[in-house]
Every structure is written in structure tokens, then in C-alpha cells.
């Protein structure tokens, strides 16, 4: 068995303390900080909404990111026509709580969408995310038509020089990125940076023009203001869609922070991989778009009972 598979299977069996000390190696890195001023928060062992609340407390609360009257885009992964227990999409309970948190912080509007891979209305419905977001007060919009997108320049792109971006991203004052932690056949992991492919129209360009470089390039157009990685259920193989619940480990983890490269680096370690081995993370770090050097960040780790 490969080392990564061994670690992941151990996490799924509840043996993370023995196989992944603390938080996938995160217990040994980072600098101290005062409450509310951490760069990165890693939470383990709770329900999705409770881990989110713990993470936001350590980051200073949603009011640190969302101000009164602002329009917020919350971008989950809704790419696949699968139920929540398959872990192909972001946890609907988590999205419900994030939307409520934004509105409680004074947001004038919270929009939720994704450019799905499977049929969009089935993805929205069967993932549970459409109802979860709407019930919390969000405006749920489709991403399935090119007319919803406008062309923008990507100022620092190496391969991706321009792309069409969903208008609701362009209109948003605050951008909150909420991917799920899972395996991906092309990039090994699908995390915060990879989730941003769901705000552009032509994903085929990425795949034909150095996928990893394009993923990194997009950050020169716009980076999320907050990244929350949902690791409550983790797809360990056959990603990004998965085959069955046998692909899923109940990791019960969440990672949150402003630096998209840092949160991806941390989540990659929890997946049993080294960040420097994931090409798009390494490229974004080299381009100065964030830091995968977790030693120089203040990290809070929370273990819930």
C-alpha cells in the first residue's frame, strides 16, 4: 500500500493520532499568535458547522471579512450529480452556516453558484446545496450559460492571459471559497485553488494549456478573501467525482485562512502528500501568490471532542 493511501485509510478509521500525528504534520509547524490573528486554522473531530465556528473564532470572526452592506460570493464545489455522502461536493450544512454567518455580519446579499461538470440543475438539487444555501437566505444562481460570463485579463498569467469570469464574481465585494478536500486524477488533490475553475467558463483551455500553471495564473486576476476547506468527508480516490461511498473517509477536518496557497499546502499534508509535490501549489508559491512555507505562519490547531 502506498504511504498516502495508508495514511488516509488510517484517518478514515479514526487512527489519525497514530498515523497522522496531530494534524497531518501541522502540529510541528507554525508561529504563535493571539486569538483572532492566526494566519491558518486547522480543526479536527467535530461536526462541520461546529468546526467552522471554531475556525472563525480563531480568525477573528466573519465580521473581519464581511462588512455591512457588502455583496458576498460563496463558492462551494457543486460540480457533481452525487449525494453528500459521496463527498464529491462541499458539505451542504457547512454552506448553510457560512451563508448565515455572512448575513449576520451585515452582508446585503450572498450569492452561491458553481460552473458544474454534470448537469447543473441535478448537481444543485442532488448535492443538497441548492436547498441549504437558499434556506439560509442566499441567492442561488446558475453557471451553465456563457452569457453569464465576461472576459477579463489575467495580468500575471504565464499561460492563462485572459478568461471569461462569472459576472457574480466580478460584482462581489467579498469572495469566500469553500472547496471540499478530495483526490483528483489530474492534480492529485482538489482543494481551494482548483475550486476556482468553477468561476470561469472555458475550463477546457486549462486542460489543454498546462492545467497546473493555469490554476496558479488565475490567482493573479483575483484571490479569495477567505478560504474554508471542507474535510468533513474526504474522497480518498477516484476523484474528482468518485465511484461510491467506499472512496470516502470520515476525516472530520476543516482548514481555514486567507492565504489560498497556505490552506492548500496544509490540506495537502492532511491528505498525506507534500505540498511541493503538487505542481499548482508549488507554482503559485514560486509566483509569490501565497506561501506554502507553513513554518513562517501562525497556525492554530483545534481538536474537538
Residue 38 is part of a domain; what is its CATH number? 3.40.50.11440
Q: How many domains does the chain have?
A: 1
List the domain range (segments joined by +) for residue 274: 3-303
d(CA 259, CA 40): 8
**DSSP 8-class letter at 138:** P
CA torsion sign, 20 to 25 to 26 to 31? positive
Mean pLDDT of the chain: 91
Give pLDDT tens digits for 191-211: 999 999 999 999 999 999 999
Average pLDDT over residues 110-129: 98
Q: With 0.85 as the threshold, say if the pTM is over it.
A: yes
d(CA 137, CA 159): 38
Average pLDDT over residues 125-133: 98
Enumerate residues 6+ apart whose C-beta is below 8 A from 270.
11, 20, 23, 24, 26, 42, 181, 231, 251, 253, 255
Give pLDDT tens digits for 249-280: 999 999 999 999 999 999 999 888 999 999 99
* Confidence category of residue 37, pLDDT binned at 50, 70, 90: confident
Amino acid at each position: 500500500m502506498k504511504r498516502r493511501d495508508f495514511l488516509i485509510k488510517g484517518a478514515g478509521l479514526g487512527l489519525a493520532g497514530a498515523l497522522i500525528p496531530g494534524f497531518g504534520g501541522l502540529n510541528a509547524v507554525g508561529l504563535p499568535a493571539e486569538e483572532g490573528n492566526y494566519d491558518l486554522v486547522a480543526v479536527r473531530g467535530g461536526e462541520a458547522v461546529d468546526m467552522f465556528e471554531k475556525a472563525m473564532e480563531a480568525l477573528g470572526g466573519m465580521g473581519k471579512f464581511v462588512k455591512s452592506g457588502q455583496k458576498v460570493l460563496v463558492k462551494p464545489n457543486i460540480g457533481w450529480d452525487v449525494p453528500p455522502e459521496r463527498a464529491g461536493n462541499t458539505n451542504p450544512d457547512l454552506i448553510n452556516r457560512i451563508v448565515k454567518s455572512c448575513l449576520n455580519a451585515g452582508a446585503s446579499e450572498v450569492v452561491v453558484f458553481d460552473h458544474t461538470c454534470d448537469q447543473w440543475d441535478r448537481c444543485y438539487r442532488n448535492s443538497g446545496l441548492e436547498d441549504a444555501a437558499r434556506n439560509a437566505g442566499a441567492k442561488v444562481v446558475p453557471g451553465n450559460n456563457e452569457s453569464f460570463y465576461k472576459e477579463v485579463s489575467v495580468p500575471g498569467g504565464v499561460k492563462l492571459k485572459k478568461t471569461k469570469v462569472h459576472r457574480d464574481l466580478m460584482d462581489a465585494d467579498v469572495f469566500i471559497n469553500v472547496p471540499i478536500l478530495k483526490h483528483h486524477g489530474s492534480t492529485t488533490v482538489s482543494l481551494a485553488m482548483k475550486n476556482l475553475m468553477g468561476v470561469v467558463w472555458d475550463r477546457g483551455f486549462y486542460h489543454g494549456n498546462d492545467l497546473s500553471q493555469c490554476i496558479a495564473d488565475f490567482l493573479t486576476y483575483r484571490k479569495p478573501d477567505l478560504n474554508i476547506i471542507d474535510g468533513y468527508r474526504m474522497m480518498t480516490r477516484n476523484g474528482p467525482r468518485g465511484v461510491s461511498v467506499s472512496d470516502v473517509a470520515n476525516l472530520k477536518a476543516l482548514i481555514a485562512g486567507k492565504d489560498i496557497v497556505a490552506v492548500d499546502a496544509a490540506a495537502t499534508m492532511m491528505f498525506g502528500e507534500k505540498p511541493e509535490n503538487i505542481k499548482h501549489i508549488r507554482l503559485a508559491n514560486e509566483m509569490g501568490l501565497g506561501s506554502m512555507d507553513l513554518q513562517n505562519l501562525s497556525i492554530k490547531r483545534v481538536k474537538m471532542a
